[in-house]
């Protein structure tokens, strides 16, 4: 197997990386971070990577985009065609091809307005899949690997094995799908799949949720050559009913091709020594860290209107959804605020969660700030300015903020799920090498106990708290290492550790 890898990697691979969002151009969450960093890491290894995404109305860098292709997607045997342009965006090293099809993407938001998903999301992202393959032929880019991400791109593996099954152009192309979040399955009525008539003809495709609905994610998992989750622990959770949100049979069927590859942290963006967003840059050494944290804490307190006090500050930056565990925090937040602490939460999303947080902040404006906004600069200031970062997630495929926290000497307090379990070392279990706090039970009480525990450490054993900060800042999750594992998977290389876990779980 090793020999195979060496000989194949002598030749750079051509990789088409398809994602509905990419950091720097359009982002709602962690998928965008990965879609920027992983292609860049693969490119650094010498591979020829091209990214494909939609040309959203709100995309950054729109004015510098250059049309490199004006064409039509013909959908035989349907009698119609969809006109589109491929716009090349001004990027770093990796070319980004944005699909300009105004009827699908010229809208104020990416997926939803006023918490209402666009009614034609099925058709919009069917187009993303179909046009990604169409443009390859027209631009003469013959990919060795087509790397799909989440449900938005799930029909690509299906198309490769149906529409393009006899195509010489794609004869050597393999597809992989990365699962960033299996709760979103991309389930739509057959009416939305008119761009993929193959789906309608072949009702046996393993992607049906019920007789009238198809899941794009199921299609991706069934037809991709390889499937991976964004952490080894999440890969093993996908084999269970709870962890896969009801798709365990689909993942169990692919267990032999299922990998778990942890995301990296982009230290070009998230590094307290170079971060242009924070008040005072700092290093890991104790003096620099103490001074930097203090200056950043003061700055954060100023920005969010909290008193500028020397008290421990707890933070959170996230989409406001049940996934992020706010329903565990909200019931105990006021109890926790009885302590001499401050809490800062930055996020947008579910109006009910937002209203509960707003209510608490109005009652406790001297201790709790809820900032209902999406702001990357503020996210950096939170990571730098707080002492603890809370992630009481219901589930968390990988999680990126705990890695950002570690880099800034901010101790994560996380629930033992998905990638959080793979990346944080618990103080109570292994105090010498610990980097944060982990707890199991999905309850507000268990979270409160861990919050109190972290506060005790901070107040009563400051030297030990500082040692944990040093441990945290020494952790590295380099994209170069994750990209090596992706390469192994592309090449059908060594089975990753997760396959052993999978085999245990399903008794294979
Ligand atoms: N209000 C706000 N202001 C500024 N920035 C904000 C913000 N809300 C969120 N962000 C940013 O968005 C990103 C969120 O990343 P996560 O990995 O935590 O979550 P997400 O659930 O979106 O991603 C899914 O995909 C990723 C990538 O694989 C997995 O890590 C994760 O577990 C999975 O759920 C971070 O960069 C965060 O700072």
Break the chain into its structural domains and give their ranges: 2-264+481-505, 286-476
Closest residue by CA, ligand 1 atom 36: 30
Per-position DSSP letters for 149-162, written without gaps between them: ESGGGTHHHHHHHT
Protein residues with CB under 6 Å of any ligand 1 atom: 29-31, 33-34, 180-181, 230, 263, 317-319, 346-348, 374-376, 379, 396-401
Residue ranges at the known binding site for ADP-alpha-D-glucose:
27
Q: How far is the CA of 399 from the centre of ligand 1 (A)?
A: 7
Task: Kindly state which CATH superfamily the domain 286-476 is placed in.
Answer: Glycogen Phosphorylase B; (3.40.50.2000)
Tens of pLDDT along 259-293? 999 999 999 999 999 999 999 999 999 899 999 99
pLDDT of residue 492: 81
Confidence of residue 114 (pLDDT cuts 50, 70, 90): confident
Dihedral angle sign, alpha carbons of residues 222, 228, 230, 232: positive
Distance (Å, whole) CA 156 – CA 175 = 8
Of the candidate CATH numbers 1.10.3210.10, 2.40.50.140, 3.40.50.150, 3.40.50.2000, the domain formed by 2-264+481-505 belongs to 3.40.50.2000
Average pLDDT over residues 106-126: 95
Could you tell me the distance, in angstroms and rounded to a whole number, from the CA of residue 304 to the centre of ligand 1? 21
Contacts of residue 253, defined as CB under 8 A and 6 or more positions apart, other chains included, come to 222
Please say if the pLDDT value at position 80 is more than 90.
no
Separate counts of helices (H) and strands (E) for the chain:
20, 20
Q: State yes or no: ipTM above 0.85.
A: yes
Residue with tokens 């209203």: 355
Query: Which segments are annotated as binding site?
Result: 27
The angle formed by the CA atoms of residues 34, 36 and 40, to the nearest 5 degrees, is 110
State the distance from the centre of ligand 1 to the C-alpha of 211, rounded, in angstroms.
Answer: 34
The residue-averaged pLDDT of 135-164 equals 97
Q: How many Å apart are CA 433 and CA 131, to the nearest integer?
A: 49
d(CA 384, CA 275): 9
Whether residue 206 is predicted with pLDDT greater than 90 in this model: the reply is no
pLDDT per residue as tens digits for the range 430-443: 999 999 999 999 99
Tell me whether the CATH fold assigned to 2-264+481-505 matches the one assigned to 286-476. Answer: yes
Q: How confident is the model at residue 10 (pLDDT cuts 50, 70, 90)?
A: low
400 alpha carbon to ligand 1 midpoint, in Å?
A: 6
| Mean pLDDT of the residues in the chain | 93
The tens digit of pLDDT for each residue in 299-352 reads 999 999 999 999 999 999 999 999 999 999 999 999 999 999 999 999 999 999
The closest of 508, 393, 381, 497 to 442, measured between CA atoms, is: 393
Ligand 1 atom at shortest distance from the alpha carbon of 419 = 32
């Amino acid at each position: 197997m090793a020999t195979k890898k060496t000989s194949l990697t002598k030749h750079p691979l051509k990789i088409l990386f398809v994602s509905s969002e990419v950091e720097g151009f359009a982002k709602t969450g962690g998928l965008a971070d990965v879609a920027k960093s992983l292609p860049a890491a693969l490119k650094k290894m010498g591979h020829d990577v091209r990214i494909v995404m939609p040309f959203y109305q709100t995309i950054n860098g729109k004015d510098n985009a250059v049309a490199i292709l004006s064409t039509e997607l013909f959908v035989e045997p349907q009698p119609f065609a969809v006109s589109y342009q491929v716009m090349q965006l001004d990027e770093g090293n990796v070319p980004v091809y944005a699909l300009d099809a105004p009827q699908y993407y010229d809208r104020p938001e990416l997926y939803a307005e006023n918490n209402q998903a666009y009614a034609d999301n099925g058709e919009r992202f069917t187009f993303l899949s179909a046009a990604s393959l169409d443009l390859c032929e027209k631009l003469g880019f013959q990919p060795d690997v087509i790397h799909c991400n989440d449900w938005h791109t799930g029909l690509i593996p299906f198309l490769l094995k149906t529409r393009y099954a006899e195509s010489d152009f794609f004869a050597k192309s393999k597809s992989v799908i990365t699962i960033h979040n299996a709760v979103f399955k991309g389930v739509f009525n057959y009416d939305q799949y008119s761009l993929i008539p193959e789906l309608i003809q072949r009702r046996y495709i393993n992607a049906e949720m019920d007789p009238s609905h198809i899941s794009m994610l199921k299609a991706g998992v069934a037809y991709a050559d390889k499937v991976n989750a964004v952490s080894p622990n999440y890969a093993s959770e996908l084999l269970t009913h709870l962890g896969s949100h009801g798709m365990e049979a689909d993942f169990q069927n692919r267990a032999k091709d299922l990998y778990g590859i942890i995301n990296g942290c982009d230290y070009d963006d998230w590094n307290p020594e170079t971060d242009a967003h924070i008040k005072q840059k700092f290093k890991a050494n104790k003096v620099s860290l103490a001074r930097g944290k203090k200056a950043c804490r003061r700055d954060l307190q100023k920005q969010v209107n909290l008193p500028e006090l020397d008290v421990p500050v707890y933070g959170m930056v996230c989409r406001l959804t049940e996934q992020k565990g706010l329903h565990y925090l909200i019931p105990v937040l006021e109890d926790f605020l009885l302590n001499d602490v401050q809490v800062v939460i930055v996020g947008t999303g579910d109006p009910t969660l937002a209203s509960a947080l707003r209510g608490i902040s109005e009652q406790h404006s001297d201790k709790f700030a809820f900032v209902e906004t999406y702001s990357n600069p503020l996210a950096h200031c939170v990571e730098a300015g707080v002492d603890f970062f809370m992630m009481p997630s219901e589930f968390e495929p990988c999680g990126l903020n705990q890695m950002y926290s570690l880099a800034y000497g901010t101790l994560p307090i996380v629930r033992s799920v998905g990638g959080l379990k793979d990346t944080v070392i618990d103080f109570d279990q292994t105090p010498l090498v610990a980097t944060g706090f982990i707890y199991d039970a999905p309850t507000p009480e268990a979270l409160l106990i861990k919050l109190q525990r972290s506060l005790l450490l901070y107040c009563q054993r400051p030297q030990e708290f500082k040692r944990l900060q040093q441990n945290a800042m020494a952790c590295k999750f380099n994209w170069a290492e994750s990209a090596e594992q992706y390469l192994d998977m592309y090449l059908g290389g060594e089975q990753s550790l997760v396959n052993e876990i999978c085999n245990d779980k399903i008794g294979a």
